[in-house]
Amino acid sequence: MVSTTLKKHNFSAGPAILPQEVFEEASKGVLNFMDSGLSVLEISHRSKEFDSVIKEAEALVRELAGIGDEFAVLFLTGGASTQFFMAPMNLLKEGEKAAYINSGAWSAKAIKEAKHFGNVEVIASSKDANYTFIPKEYNVPADAAYLHITSNNTIYGTQYKSFPETSIPLIADMSSDMFSKPIDFNKFGLIYAGAQKNLGPAGVTLVILRKDLIGRSGRTLPSMLDYNTHVQKGSLFNTPPVFPIYVLMLTLRWLKAKGGLKAIAKHNEEKAAILYKEIDENPCFTGTANKEDRSLMNACFLPTKPEYTEPFLKLCQEAGISGVKGHRSVGGFRASIYNAMPKESVELLVEVMQQFARTQG
């Protein structure tokens, strides 16, 4: 019998779980930041204390990604949703086309926004199959300004295992799997990621931009929507989200201390293997994504009988498990197992799934 507990096991897709050590350190900063006598919530973004934070955050991003000075690292606001239109505004010239792969709801939103600024060619899509796989058969047009992908699909539970080889700049929305595994970040022209999955709290968006793409569109843009503005001002053109950047920096510190991307990838693979094994073997549940494309971040599964949904969610609640209800557009269940999710929480979820199967036997 699964025992109830006061501890919450947070499987939410986002805002998502963060390391306990980060919470503890951040809470100290809220009360007295770096012995300044001020809270991190009230310090000036021009202060020497915050200058050390944003510089360390950038240095950690560069170290973990393995990128050099040919890339700019920015800490912006507006989430990936702002990047959906900011990217084409900055990179797509009048009359040019951009290539997009539609692998999920967030890809579709990016496509919609890009159409305001140029021609969009959707070169591959898994929409007709309810986004259950990552498209793999397509030709990338050499005359496109860039190719845009979404590396992980939070709603449908699919993830790129390898990335397209292309002669044009590759752009990726990595909001839900940034720094979850080692990849060659140097092969991308632009990467953006809302922080609220693996990097920190909502409120800051990490952008990694190859500098030779700055100003590519030739458009006259509002200052806040021009990448060059933020590159020139070191992400300090206006008051940045100080606290989210601070927590992001602490999270990257934690990630480095854990052994970096190789170590966290091993951790994520172990958790996912435990959960997917149970999904495949438990008669009460069935996975939604093609096995070869299953996400290590978001495991999506359905009940084999519709009437199982509410009793299983109730059992999870009793066990202190939160956030496993599936996205409203899909239904069923979704367990988001980001970097900070401990293996013990996944094992508890599996135990609850097994208990549920016994009660239905």
Question: Do 104 and 134 touch, CB atoms closer than 8 A?
Answer: no
Domain boundary among the residues 223, 257, 291 is at 257
Q: Which token pair is 161?
A: 């295992």
Domain boundary among the residues 215, 233, 257 is at 257
What whole-number distance in Å separates Cα of residue 305 and Cα of residue 112? 35
> What number of helices (H) and strands (E) belong to the chain?
9, 14
**Per-residue model confidence as pLDDT tens digits over 274-332:** 999 999 999 999 999 999 999 999 999 999 999 999 999 999 999 999 999 999 888 99
106 tagged catalytic: yes
φ, ψ dihedrals at 47, nearest 5°: -75, 160
What are the residues facing 193 on neighbouring strands?
Answer: 206
What are the residues facing 122 on neighbouring strands?
Answer: 100
Q: Same domain for 188 and 250?
A: yes
**Per-residue model confidence as pLDDT tens digits over 138-179:** 999 999 999 999 999 999 999 999 999 999 999 999 999 999
Share of the chain above pLDDT 90, in %: 97
Domain boundary among the residues 205, 239, 257 is at 257
Task: Determine the structural domain holding residue 216 and report its residue range.
Answer: 22-257
Task: Please compute the mean of the pLDDT values over residues 19-48 and round it to a whole number.
Answer: 96
Task: Please compute the mean of the pLDDT values over residues 3-9 and round it to a whole number.
Answer: 64
Q: Which of 28, 51, 69, 106 is catalytic?
A: 106
Q: What is the 3 state secondary structure string of 250-292?
A: HHHHHHHHCCHHHHHHHHHHHHHHHHHHHHHHCCCEEECCCHH
3-state DSSP assignment of residue 173: strand
In a domain, 2, yes or no: no
Q: Same domain for 168 and 214?
A: yes
Looking at residue 190, what DSSP letter applies?
E
Looking up tokens 């609640």 gives: 317
3-state DSSP assignment of residue 35: helix
What whole-number distance in Å separates Cα of residue 2 and Cα of residue 13? 24
Q: Which token pair is 218?
A: 């030739």
Looking at residue 129, what DSSP letter applies?
G
Q: Is the pLDDT of residue 1 over 50?
A: no
Residues 6 or more apart whose Cβ sits within 8 Å of residue 100: 107, 110, 111, 114, 120, 121, 122, 123, 147, 148, 149
128 tagged catalytic: no
Looking up tokens 């070191």 gives: 234
In a domain, 9, yes or no: no
Task: Kindly report each contact of residues 355-360 with a partner whose C-beta sits within 8 Å and lies 24 or more positions away, as own/partner.
Answer: 355/1, 355/2, 355/315, 356/284, 356/308, 356/311, 356/312, 356/315, 357/282, 357/283, 357/284, 359/311, 360/283, 360/284, 360/308
Q: Which token pair is 244?
A: 């989210």
Q: Is the pLDDT of residue 195 over 90?
A: yes
Q: Which of 177, 181, 197, 325 is catalytic?
A: 197
Q: Which token pair is 107?
A: 């890809």
| Domains: count for the chain | 2
User: What pLDDT shows up at residue 7?
Assistant: 73
User: What pLDDT shows up at residue 220?
Assistant: 97
User: What pLDDT shows up at residue 2?
Assistant: 47
In a domain, 201, yes or no: yes
CATH number at residue 172: 3.40.640.10
User: What pLDDT shows up at residue 267?
Assistant: 98
What whole-number distance in Å separates Cα of residue 94 and Cα of residue 315? 55
3-state DSSP assignment of residue 115: coil
User: What pLDDT shows up at residue 22?
Assistant: 98
This model's pTM is above 0.75: yes
In a domain, 61, yes or no: yes
Q: Same domain for 252 and 270?
A: no
Q: Which of 173, 177, 226, 293 is catalytic?
A: 173
What whole-number distance in Å separates Cα of residue 274 and Cα of residue 294? 13
On the 0-12 / 13-18 / 19+ scale of CB atoms within 10 A, 258 is middle
In a domain, 328, yes or no: yes
Q: Which token pair is 113?
A: 């926004």
Alpha helices in 32-148 (DSSP H): 48-65, 79-91, 105-114
Q: Which token pair is 131?
A: 């986004």
Q: Are strands 97-102 and 147-150 parallel, antiparallel or unpaired?
A: parallel
Banded model confidence at residue 4, pLDDT cuts 50, 70, 90:
very low
Q: Is the pLDDT of residue 99 over 80?
A: yes
Q: Same domain for 205 and 281?
A: no
What whole-number distance in Å separates Cα of residue 312 and Cα of residue 8? 16
Q: What is the largest distance, in Å, between two alpha-carbon atoms of the chain?
A: 65
What whole-number distance in Å separates Cα of residue 132 and Cα of residue 273? 19
Q: Is the pLDDT of residue 191 over 70?
A: yes
